């Protein structure tokens, strides 16, 4: 099976490439200059050249804070760009997996978010990703949307890598403790994407496999919890570690408002696809071990 994935260097693309061999599939990254979601007209030709059995739209504008000053660009890439990828999937008659985010919610619910909860993004990034969901829904494509949250991996820039870097030079790191989420390894997410793609290709008439699903690490944590887990795992392997000073969101102002509750209820994915991502603590330890091994090689 051939999966075309938008982008070249992102965490999900790199994780799909890392998992492809063991899964017995071929992953074809399709990115700039052939495919530029800021220029949506390039999508169909670029994706068609990959001759895919399934398309994964993993490319996105992800600079959450910068989106507040570049809302039009974020909307063009995450909204119109997603619509163009979906239109290409429809024209090619192949299923589409669109990646989305917890930022489509306002974070005010007292429990993990379900797929049918009302969306109400707090900022430009969330609005652009919700626009992408709407464009996919209206495209006529054979679509499945996977919303995820708090993604980290051995690739690219992410929270886990930042914490390990800071631990090398700081005696203490202030980390927000009043935002809750579902930390997600991009490698675990890649496994889930591959499983969903295989099911969509093998059972094209099964309506239960389609729709909006939440796909995030099992369990919940604050950013401070995740940081402490990273430092504990690193210390156990002789790597850098430091002390976490728990702070409130108000003590770490950012241009974009973050949802205070980003926890995702992933039971529908388990029910329909038989998939449940590993405990976030286990995957965080694996990621830290991988990063330390890379730094020592």
As separate numbers, helices (DSSP H) first and strands (DSSP E) second, the chain gives 10, 12
Alpha helices, DSSP H, located in the chain: 11-23, 43-48, 71-75, 81-92, 124-137, 159-167, 186-202, 223-236, 267-273, 280-296
DSSP state of 120: -
Contacts of 138 (CB under 8 A, 6+ apart): 83
Instruction: Count CB-CB contacts under 10 A for residue 146.
Output: 23
Give the strand pairing for 211-214 and 172-176. Answer: unpaired
Q: Is 289 helix (H, G, I), strand (E, B) or coil?
A: helix
Task: Give the C-alpha separation, 286 to 168, whole Å.
Answer: 19
d(C-alpha 171, C-alpha 180), whole Å = 25
Strand 180-181 and strand 221-222: pairing? antiparallel
Q: What are the CA-CA distances from residue 82 to residues 103, 224, 269, 272 (Å)?
A: 16, 33, 22, 24
Q: Which residues are catalytic?
A: 125
């Amino acid at each position: 099976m051939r999966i075309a994935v938008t982008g070249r260097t992102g965490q999900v693309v790199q994780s799909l490439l890392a998992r492809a061999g063991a899964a017995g599939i071929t992953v074809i990254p399709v990115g700039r200059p052939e495919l530029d979601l800021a220029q949506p007209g390039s999508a169909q030709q670029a994706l068609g050249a990959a001759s895919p059995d399934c398309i994964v739209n993993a490319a996105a504008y992800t600079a959450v804070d910068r989106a507040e000053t570049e809302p039009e660009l974020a909307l063009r890439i995450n909204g119109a760009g997603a619509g163009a990828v979906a239109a290409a999937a429809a024209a090619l008659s192949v299923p589409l997996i669109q990646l989305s985010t917890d930022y489509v919610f306002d974070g005010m619910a007292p429990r993990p978010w379900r797929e049918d909860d009302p969306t109400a993004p707090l900022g430009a990034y969330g609005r652009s990703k919700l626009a992408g969901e709407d464009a996919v829904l209206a495209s006529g494509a054979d679509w499945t949307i996977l919303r995820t949250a708090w993604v980290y991996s051995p690739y690219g820039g992410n929270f886990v890598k930042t914490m390990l870097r800071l631990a090398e030079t700081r005696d203490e790191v202030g980390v927000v403790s009043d935002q809750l989420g579902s930390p997600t390894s991009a490698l675990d997410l890649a496994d889930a994407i591959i499983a969903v793609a295989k099911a969509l290709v093998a059972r094209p008439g099964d309506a239960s496999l389609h729709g909006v699903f939440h796909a995030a690490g099992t369990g919940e944590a604050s950013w401070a919890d995740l940081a402490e887990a990273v430092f504990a795992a690193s210390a156990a392997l002789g790597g850098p570690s430091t002390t976490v000073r728990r702070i409130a969101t108000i003590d770490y102002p950012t241009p974009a408002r973050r949802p205070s509750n980003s926890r995702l209820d992933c039971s529908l994915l388990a029910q329909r696809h038989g998939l449940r991502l590993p405990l976030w603590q286990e995957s965080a330890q694996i990621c830290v071990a991988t990063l330390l091994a890379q730094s020592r090689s």
